[in-house]
Amino acid sequence: MLAGVLQIRDERLQVMLWQRAEEPDLHRWSLPRGWLAADEDVEGSIRRQLAEKVDVHKLSHVEQLSVFSAPGRVPDRRVVGTAFLCLVPADVDPEVPGDTRWFPVDDLPATAFDHEEIVLAARDRLRAKLSYTNIGFALAPAEFTVSELRGIYSGALGYQVAATNLQRVLSRRGVLEATGHTLPAGRSGGRPPALFRFTSRDLQVTDPFAVFRPPS
């Protein structure tokens, strides 16, 4: 099993990779992987392995991405890989070992096997679901300003999203609500920024025909 762990870091969509210490593809960067134990389901296995190996204890969303079965994907042997999309909230900063790093999805290093293909498939799945579900909850902190949420959506989608339009769309879909709290006003004064939250932190289809598109 392969884990495509994605997070918005510095307003960019990034993926967690670790450096292989053995052949084949020695020193190339790869997705975290592991094996399913006899007494666990796949989601429990993914969560356990990431907690044990790279200190990722807070996954806000896990779903099966796809099965990758090209005959030559691993040299000298037949290996079928099942990949999972795993999301980490933007306010979580797991400690990772020295052989593990976060990389921007649009600036990947040389990866092992077909792992770049898997990372891009995870990115595309996330972008698609941002259009018609409330999956933004899995990238965002529990509470956030509209400006912070704009940065998260912009980083995930790969283009700048207008904050007012984002708030309008998500509010109309019923997935965004005000908490009634604000952050302190900045040094320049003005209205204190309001805090919002997602109405549910479970995945829901909100608009099956909607698409967030880059500005023309």
Domains of the chain: 2-132 (3.90.79.10)
| Cβ within 8 Å of residue 62, ≥6 positions away | 43, 46, 47, 84, 85, 86, 87
The predicted model gives 12-41 an average pLDDT of 93
The predicted model gives 192-211 an average pLDDT of 91
The two structure tokens encoding residue 24: 């084949």
Average pLDDT, the chain: 92
CA distance 193 to 202: 26
Of 100-109, 135-144, 190-199, the one with minimum mean pLDDT is 190-199
Maximum separation of any 2 CA atoms in the chain, in Å = 64
What integer pLDDT is reported at residue 35 of this predicted model?
83
The predicted model gives 54-75 an average pLDDT of 88
The two structure tokens encoding residue 5: 């762990």
pTM (predicted TM-score): 0.92
Say which residue the tokens 């769309």 belong to.
169
